[in-house]
Amino acid sequence: MMKNTTPPKSNQGMFRIGMAVSAVVLMAGCASNPAPTEQIAVSRAAVSNALAAGGNQFAPVQFKSASDKLAAAERAMADKDYELALRLAEQAEVDAKLAAEMARSTKAQRAADALQDDIRVLRQEIERQSK
């Protein structure tokens, strides 16, 4: 003779509710984003590097954008809006890297221009002395 292994109907309903609640809790735990502390640190370093490269002087728009986005990311972190904080921190990093590269490019162009001027002056001096 086979023994009935199904729980009584009242227990079955409680079991289903318990499973549903467990699934919702599990999904909510997986869906939440962790605090993007590492990305914020990377973005801070990128803004610092841009400043050291002269981004505030040679690429002020991009540097300000990076600084503003980093500040907004930090506010979003304080508000526990981690998705927004991550997105803003990533944008701040990109803007800061752009500002740093623009500053380096501008400095390199100025150095090249100065060398070209020096070469021009030397050529003029050589021409003057050879006459």
Q: How far is CA 120 from the centre of its chain?
A: 44
Query: Residues of the chain with pLDDT > 90: what percent?
Result: 63
- List helix spans (H) across 32-81: 37-53, 55-58, 60-78
Give the CATH number for residue 80.
1.20.1270.390
Per the domain annotation, does 87 fall within a domain? Answer: yes
Per the domain annotation, does 108 fall within a domain? Answer: no
Per the domain annotation, does 62 fall within a domain? Answer: yes
Question: So what's the pLDDT on residue 130?
Answer: 87
Instruction: Provide the residue range defining the domain that includes 74.
Output: 32-103
What value does the mean pLDDT take over residues 97-122?
Answer: 93
Question: So what's the pLDDT on residue 33?
Answer: 84
Q: How many domains would you assign to the chain?
A: 1
* 48-95 pLDDT, tens digit each: 999 999 999 999 999 999 999 999 999 999 999 999 999 999 999 999
| pTM to 2 decimal places | 0.69
Distances (CA, A) of 101 to 52, 56, 62, 66, 113: 11, 12, 10, 13, 18
Per the domain annotation, does 10 fall within a domain? Answer: no
What value does the mean pLDDT take over residues 20-48?
Answer: 78
Instruction: Count how many residues are written for the chain.
Output: 131
Per the domain annotation, does 89 fall within a domain? Answer: yes
Per the domain annotation, does 38 fall within a domain? Answer: yes
